[in-house]
Amino acid sequence: MYNDESIFSFLKNDCPEAAKAAIQMEQYIFSDPATAGTKARIAVEFLLKNVFIIEEIQEGYNLSLNDMISYLSTQDYIRSEIKLALDQVRRTGNKATHTNEMSLLDALGLHKQLFKVASWYYETYVTYDGTIKPYREPLQKPPSLTIEEIFKAFEEREQETSSNTKSNESGNSSPFTKAIDETAAVTELEVNQVDNLKSTTSTLREQLSKLKDSSKEAIESANELSDFKKYLHIDRQIQKRLVDYLKNEIPPKLILLSGGVGDGKSHLLAYLKSEHQDLISDFTIHNDATESFSPELSALQTLEKILSAHSDDQVDMVNKHTIVAINLGVLHNFINSDYGAKFQNLRMFVEESGVFEDKIVPWYANEDQSTILFNLSDNHSYELTANGPTSSFYKEMLKKVFAADEANPFYLSYKKDVKEDKKNYLHENYEFLQSPEIQEQLIQLVIQAIVKYKLVISTRAFLSFIADILIGNDNNEELRVLDQITPNILFASGERSELLRAISNLDPINTRSSTVDDLLIDLRLNNNWGLVHEQTVYNSLAKQWLENNSLNEDDPLDQTFKYKFTSMLRCALLTNKELSNVYSDDSLGDPIFNEFIIDLFHFNKGNKQKIKDFYSVFKSIMFNWKGQPKKGFILINQREDHYKLAQRFSPQANPIESTPFIQNQGDVLYYFKTNISIAFLKSEQGYHSNIKLDIDFTLYKLLYKVARGYRPTTAEEEIAVNFMEFMEKMMSVGERQTELLVDFPDQNKTYKLRADGFGSFKEIIFERE
């Protein structure tokens, strides 16, 4: 029987198996957390099996849960935060199943992740109708008694009261009577807790909670923007360009809003409906991610119906205007499927746009501008400049939350709490992040995380991130005071989101630098925390946090030394810009990241001299990677062999392949490739082709060290698979067929082997070097 009070009840009609498992999970949390973990895993398995059925994905049969998650993620059916939630349920559920162990805290965390997945499933594949209520943690129920047990308990209590009241005083009450007493006590306690909560509720916390992923405000609707989302809306270039097209005297017949999961397609549609209804009144609007004619139709069948007026046999007479928001993967599948057979004009348009090629295509229109494609995947949340990355979008978003403006609901909530004497650590964190300098440091950390770990951070995920680093985890009574300040929340909350997990890897405490070493030595020797705070932490509130939680002055080796030093270093990184300046000797920044971003800018900008310099360095890297027994020769065999066999190697760069699609963007690049692309010519019997390599930050970091003499380990070579494959291809452009070098280091002898003029290796000319 279903429990109507369960927050998972909305699933029972459309996925009853998942609903049953989810509700059982909720019921077992307090009594048997391990079983709760197993039930959570079963619930998501049923949900994903339904997704495969609805989407008509044949590959879904007999796949493991891990394989299902992987497939849906790689095919862009699920956004990154849902994959993260699914992976957590899978891993934790597996552990609970196999070890029969799970803490109550883990079970509660699993409950929240399961709700996130269930909400996504319902609102994506059933309907978005407001059925789902905001998330709430399960409450521990008092012991439940049957009717017979309750009557028996009352009978026993009456008998005991009338015959011998002393039995109760001596603690000999029956277990049933005791259960009733405990039930009453629990109920009274819960009422008192609720009353106390109401008296201390923070208006600022309530506002910030709307930013969280679990909030109903986090759900993107393509139908309208709430007042809250209208306030948070920020104009972006692609939106401005779309509106300009709609304002044309003859607007496009078909507009495709393409991209990936969570890139803002739904928000853009809602913006148009809320702010420019007059421009789209004649348009049919379809959001492929959420809409379907009926549950029986797949995404491709639905598209076929939506686009029917734009098929090949209708294209010359079409008088219908259509906007379709569509995932790039779905678009690719559609134009190459049987359903897209009668849309060859559309297929040619998409192929001509280059959106599936290695190009930058923020938008593309056909010659008469009757069909336009906007690719939101090429709209980044940050920009590139010659001095490093920046983000106008994140700056504006932080202003929306922290500006001391009477139109800012967050600021008004902050003022209201302060006036009502409800100020606590949350409000101090809010004050801390009101600083533009600290906001800039925060933005730089976010950009680093995105680039280094290839994250796709939606607007929703960024807003949730802001709430997370302000609110912290005040449900944990074991937390120390400094645990609740934003600098520590920022670097020590990796389990809370994908972005926070990436930023935890950028924790300055993990940076080896002369700054960290000198500070440690100074504090160990002199224990002068006040002086160190003054020299490194450039924010009065941060200094106050640190000084109000001082160590035992008589014991500098106290176990909390590292705790406070870590807190101080994190505060310093966010408040002292010089510490993150990679050109400073005292830097806690990452100089390799800085070099990568600068090179990335010059490649996307098309600066020929900078690109030429990069190719020059890269050629030396290839020699360093393989080995160079003599200038102009690259090693063929292994370095460890007792002799060295090398070929002449003079690769010819083809920098035109490195030129980006978007030219002349000015000093700030809004559209760019996120990898450095290089190419070398390969000639075969008069035919020229290119050997290409895309260099992301991870590979760049390794090659950066190789350029300075570092020899990669076997493990690093295995990680750099793309580069190894590239090198194998590059070795084929050498001259091993005509000239080889043989070096015997232990004999101090070197020989050249040349083929004869007929290209035969039967007659070899040996030359002593």
Residues 285-298: tens digit of each pLDDT: 888 654 544 556 67
Mind listing the pLDDT tens digit for each residue in 368-421? 888 999 998 888 999 999 999 999 999 999 999 999 999 999 999 999 999 999
The answer, yes or no, to whether residue 451 has pLDDT greater than 90, is yes
Other CB atoms within 10 Å distance of the CB of residue 746: 7
For residue 166, the model assigns a pLDDT of: 44
* DSSP per-residue string spanning 556-613: TT-TTHHHHHHHHHHHHHHH-GGGG-TTSTT--S-HHHHHHHHHHHHHHHT-HHHHHH
Helices (H), 255-408: 265-275, 277-280, 299-306, 328-335, 344-353, 392-402
CATH number attached to the domain at 9-125: 1.20.120
User: Given this model, what pLDDT does residue 762 score?
Assistant: 47
Q: Examine the pLDDT at 768 and tell me if it is beyond 70.
A: no
Each residue's pLDDT tens digit, 728-737: 999 888 777 7
Spatial CA neighbour of 116 closest among 228, 259, 216: 216
Alpha carbon 256 to its chain centroid, in Å, reads 25
All CATH 1.20.120 domain ranges in the chain, comma separated: 9-125
Each residue's pLDDT tens digit, 60-117: 556 788 888 888 887 778 887 888 889 889 888 887 777 777 877 788 888 989 999 9
Has residue 173 got a pLDDT over 50? no
- What are the residue ranges of CATH 3.40.50 in the chain? 237-378
Q: 177 pLDDT exceeds 70?
A: no
Assess whether pLDDT exceeds 60 at residue 328: yes
Confidence of residue 167 (pLDDT cuts 50, 70, 90): very low
pLDDT the model gives residue 619: 95
Buried b (16+ CB within 10 A) or exposed e, 35-48: bbbbbbbbbbbbbb
pLDDT at position 591 over 80: yes
Could you tell me which CATH number the domain at 237-378 has? 3.40.50
Answer for the pair 267, 220: CB distance below 8 angstroms, yes or no: yes
pLDDT(155) > 60: no
Cα separation, 279 vs 272, whole angstroms = 8
Please report, for residues 256, 323, 543, the alpha-carbon distance to residue 272 in angstroms, rounded to integers and kept in the order given.
Answer: 14, 11, 46
For the whole model, what pTM was predicted?
0.71
Q: What is the pLDDT of residues 706-723, one digit of tens each?
A: 999 898 888 888 788 899
Q: Hey, what amino acid is at 694?
A: D
pLDDT of residue 615: 95
The SS3 assignment for 209 reads helix
Q: 613-665, pLDDT tens digit by residue?
A: 999 999 999 999 999 888 889 999 887 788 888 888 989 998 876 555 555 56
Coil, helix or strand at residue 476: coil
DSSP 653: B
Determine the straight-line distance between the first and last CA of the chain, rounded to whole angstroms: 89
Q: What is the mean pLDDT of the chain?
A: 81
Least confident of 129-133, 367-371, 394-398, 512-516: 129-133
Q: How far apart are CA 254 and CA 320, in angstroms?
A: 8
Q: So what's the pLDDT on residue 763?
A: 46
Query: For 478-482, what is the mean pLDDT?
Result: 72
Angle among Cα 512, 516, 518 to the nearest 5 degrees reads: 125
- For the beta carbon of residue 185, count every other beta carbon within 10 angstroms: 11
* Out of 78-82, 164-168, 658-662, 757-761, least confident range: 164-168
DSSP 8-state symbol, 216: G
Q: How far is CA 371 from CA 243, 268, 324, 346, in A?
A: 15, 18, 11, 9
In the predicted model, is pLDDT for residue 190 greater than 50? no
